[in-house]
Each structure stands twice: as C-alpha cells, then as structure tokens.
Structure 1
Amino acid sequence: MNGIAGGFYKISEWIMKLAYINFLWIVFTLLGAIIFGFFPAYTAMLTIVRKWIIGEADIPVFKTFFTVYKKEFFKSNCIGLFLLLLGYILYVDISIVMEANSIINLITFPLVIIIIGFFLASCYTFPIIVHYETKIGQALKNSFIIMVLSPFSTTMMIIGAIAIYFLMTAIPGLLPFFGASTLAFIVMWSALLAFSKIEKRQESYTLTKAEQVEAQ
C-alpha cells in the first residue's frame, strides 16, 4: 500500500504492535511478582522492538517474548536489582548531603552530576544486553562509555522520554496501553543509533590501522 492509505496502515500497525507488547510486558511483569518480572519483561520487550526496528517484522511476537523472558530471567534480574540498589545508595547520599551543612554541600553539584550520569548510562545497559548479548560486567562498563561517546543519541533519548511523559500525563488513558512500549521504542531506537555510529568509528579506525600496516 502506497500514499496516504499506506501511511495510515503503517501507523495503525505500529499502534497495534506497541499496544500488544505493552500488554505482554504487564502480564509477564505480574507473573514475576512485579519485582522479579519487571526486568526480564523489559528485556523481552526491548528484544521485540529491536527486531522491528532493524526490519524483522514477521517474528512470532509471543513466542519470542516468552523465550527471551525465560532465557534472560536471572541475568536481567541481577543487573536490574544491582542498578536499583546502586540508585538507592546514590539517592540516600544526595538526601544526606542536601540536609548537611554548607561545607558538605560543596559536593552536592558533583554528586548530582554522578547521579545524572548513572541514570543515563543505565538507559543503555539493557539495550546493550539485547543487542550484543554481553556479560553483566561488560554491559555496565560499556553503557557508561557509550553514554559519553553518544551525546546526540542520549539527548534524543531524554527528549523522547520527556515527550512521552507529557503525553501520558495529558492523556492518562494511554498509559496502560502504550506507556512502557513507547518508552522502550525510544530507548532502543536511540541506543541503536549510538551503536551504529560507534561501530562505524571502529570500522574506520580498523581500516585506517590496516592501511598503515600495509603502507609500512
């Protein structure tokens, strides 16, 4: 289908897709008693979204979602709960500093920068696991590196998240249908953009080194 009709069809198709995986995310999060289901369901949702973005449109959604949920259950929970714990520690630290005297308050700004950096790096952690299938330690390290090297993608991620927040606030009825899936789409799309640019840099660097070796 081409033209306006084709455009409406594609939009409608994406709306149905996002609503469906949002439903699956809610169901599987509840199946894991919320705390243990949230991260595996999020990983599975990112996997589906990644496949759609790179052009794998005809995948069996439920089967793929369920397979990833089971496969990544332990790994996703380990990294997710670790990030939650680290985030809570940083939150306690900033709370103590904010209530302390003026001398200690001198470290407030650096601590806020660290917290913002931690949050932004965390947004890349699960996309890295989905895209590269790395180990937990590598995912944590690479998420910070990619966040620093990809300011444009990080900015797009922030803008998209803010836009979704205001949309869901303005129309709360959309939240149970598109809240998680639209955010996952923004995060995965921005992360893939960052991955692509970094991979091209690496390829260019490798090619340059190879040419230098040949020249010698």
Structure 2
Amino acid sequence: MYTNGFMGFFYKFSDWFVKLAYINILWILFSLFGLIVIGFFPATFAMFSVIRRVLNKEDLSIFKAFLKSYTGDFLKSNLIGWFIILVFSILYFDLTIIEATENDFFQFFQYPLLIIGFLFFATVLYVIPTYIHYDLKLFELFKNSFVIMIVNPLNTITMISTIFVIYFVSYMIPGIIPFFSGSLLTLFLMMAALRSFQKIEDSKDRLETKA
C-alpha cells in the first residue's frame, strides 16, 4: 500500500509521526509511574529499545515491547543511569571547587577536567544504544561505548548537533515536548549509533575475510 511517490512518502511520514508521538507519551507516562527518580532511566532505555526495533522493521506491539523492556531492564537501567549521574556530579563538583580557588596549581586541572567531561558526555551518547545492541557488562559497556565514540567522530558530531537542534526546536515550539521531545531525539541518536555499529561490524567482516 502506497510504497512509491508522494503518497508513499506521506504514508511513511504519517506512520512515523504517530509512532514517535505514541512512544514519547509512553516515555513520559512510564517515567512518571516510577516517580521520575526510578522511572526515568527504565523508560528511556525502553524508548531506545522500541525505536531500534521499529528501525529494524520488526512487527511488534509498541506498548508490549515498551513494557517488557521497562520491567526487564528496570534494575540495570537505573544502575547505569545513576552511575552516569554520579560521574557527572563528581566532575561538576571538582570543577566548582577549582573555579572557587585561586591556586594556580588547581586551576591547571580545569581544562583536563573539561576535556574528560566532554569525552564522557560523548561516550554516554552511545551507552544506551550499545547496551541494547550488545550483551555487555558494566565496565565493558562503557569501554566499548568510548571506543565506538572515538572511531566514529562524524556520527558523534551528528549526535551532539542533533541534541542542540532538537533542544532549540523544543524551546521555540514547546508544544512538541509532550509528543516528540524524547522520541525524536532517540530516533536520530539510534540511527547514528546503528550506523556506527554497522561500520565496525563491516570492518570486522573485512578483516576476517582477509585472515
């Protein structure tokens, strides 16, 4: 049905429009269900998981898939999420202390900490997609996310740029926040991450072929 031309484009656009709005609403509701504190990370992981499956053109019930991921990854997603918050909090605390002191020796560490913070932020962009795509332990998850981020600079820049663009659009048109703020961002981040994964897997296949 409607696979070519303008009608095909309109059908696909409408289909994604409805799915993204539905997933975003589920993300908000399930975050609230966990009182944000323990619900935000499971809901976010579930949103990434569902959108990945939609991108892979799987035939699924979005609600059932969302609920399964939410409950199945509830503990792990909170562990990963709060670990990320802890690291950012430590970096922020250290930078605050450095900015408050006039000691030149401590001031020297400000820029290295900013670089570390930026690299960790860029790594975090790959953490959830990597967790969903691969079966890894916590240390391996962050290590592999860091490596993937380093070897795919263009996709990483695309991810960061997407965050700023969607933030700007949401700021200018706040009415889209309940319907697309999270799901649209997740869509573009997941697409970029999948391109990175495919690039790495293709490289591995070429090396195995040569061997």
What TM-score do the two structures reach when normalised by structure 1? 0.93
SS in 1 for 2:165: helix
Question: Paired residue for 1:113?
Answer: 115
SS in 1 for 2:76: helix
Which segments of 5 or more consecutive residues in structure 1 lack a partner in the other structure? 211-216
After TM superposition, give the deviation of residue 135 of structure 1 in Å: 2.0
After TM superposition, give the deviation of residue 7 of structure 1 in Å: 1.1
CA distance in 2, matches of 1:135, 1:184: 23
Amino acid at match of 2:148: I
After TM superposition, give the deviation of residue 8 of structure 1 in Å: 1.4
For the Cα contact (< 8 Å) 1:18–1:178, is it kept in 2?
A: yes
Identical pairs, percent: 42
Question: Paired residue for 1:80?
Answer: 81
After TM superposition, give the deviation of residue 105 of structure 1 in Å: 1.5
Aligned counterparts, 1:128-207, within 5 A: 128-207=130-209
Question: Paired residue for 2:30?
Answer: 28
After TM superposition, give the deviation of residue 130 of structure 1 in Å: 0.6
Q: RMSD of aligned C-alpha atoms?
A: 1.1
Which deviations, in whole Å up to 9, do the C-alpha atoms of 1:66-105 show, x marking residues without a partner?
0111110011011111110111001111111122223321
Question: Paired residue for 1:100?
Answer: 101
Amino acid at match of 1:181: S
For the Cα contact (< 8 Å) 1:161–1:186, is it kept in 2?
A: no
CA distance in 2, matches of 1:116, 1:45: 24
After TM superposition, give the deviation of residue 138 of structure 1 in Å: 1.4
After TM superposition, give the deviation of residue 206 of structure 1 in Å: 2.1
Misfit runs of 4+, over 3 Å: none
Amino acid at match of 2:162: G
For this pair of structures, how many residues does the alignment match? Answer: 208
After TM superposition, give the deviation of residue 55 of structure 1 in Å: 2.1
What TM-score do the two structures reach when normalised by structure 2? 0.95
SS in 2 for 1:103: helix
After TM superposition, give the deviation of residue 24 of structure 1 in Å: 0.5
After TM superposition, give the deviation of residue 31 of structure 1 in Å: 1.1
Deviates more, 1:16-25 or 1:106-115: 106-115
Question: Paired residue for 2:91?
Answer: 90
For the Cα contact (< 8 Å) 1:75–1:136, is it kept in 2?
A: no
After TM superposition, give the deviation of residue 207 of structure 1 in Å: 2.0
Amino acid at match of 1:196: Q
After TM superposition, give the deviation of residue 190 of structure 1 in Å: 0.9
CA distance in 1, matches of 2:120, 2:174: 29
Aligned counterparts, 1:14-25, within 5 A: 14-25=16-27
Amino acid at match of 1:85: L
Q: 1:5 aligned to 2:7?
A: yes
Question: Paired residue for 1:66?
Answer: 67
CA distance in 2, matches of 1:21, 1:135: 27
CA distance in 1, matches of 2:53, 2:133: 10
Amino acid at match of 2:51: V
Which deviations, in whole Å up to 9, do the C-alpha atoms of 1:40-87 show, x marking residues without a partner?
11111101111111222x311111110111110011011111110111
